[in-house]
Amino acid sequence: MIAQIKELLANAQLQQKIEEAADLAESIKLIVSAGAEKGYNFTTEAVSQLLAELTSPETTELSEEELLMVSGGATPHTGMCPHCYTKTK
Bridge partners (DSSP) of residue 87 are 80
What is the rounded distance in angstroms from the CA atom of residue 38 to the CA atom of residue 10?
13
**How confident is the model over 3-61, as pLDDT tens digits?**
899 899 899 999 999 999 999 999 999 999 999 999 999 999 999 998 888 777 764 56
Sequence letter at residue 63: S
**How confident is the model over 63-81, as pLDDT tens digits?**
777 777 676 655 555 555 5
Find out whether 27 and 18 touch, Cβ atoms under 8 Å.
yes
Sequence letter at residue 27: S
Domain assignments of the chain as residue spans, ordered by start: 2-55, 61-89
pLDDT band for position 89 (50/70/90)?
A: low
Residues with Cβ < 8 Å from 81, sequence gap 6 or more?
Answer: 74, 87, 88
pLDDT band for position 1 (50/70/90)?
A: confident
Res 42: pLDDT: 92
What is the rounded distance in angstroms from the CA atom of residue 71 to the CA atom of residue 10?
36
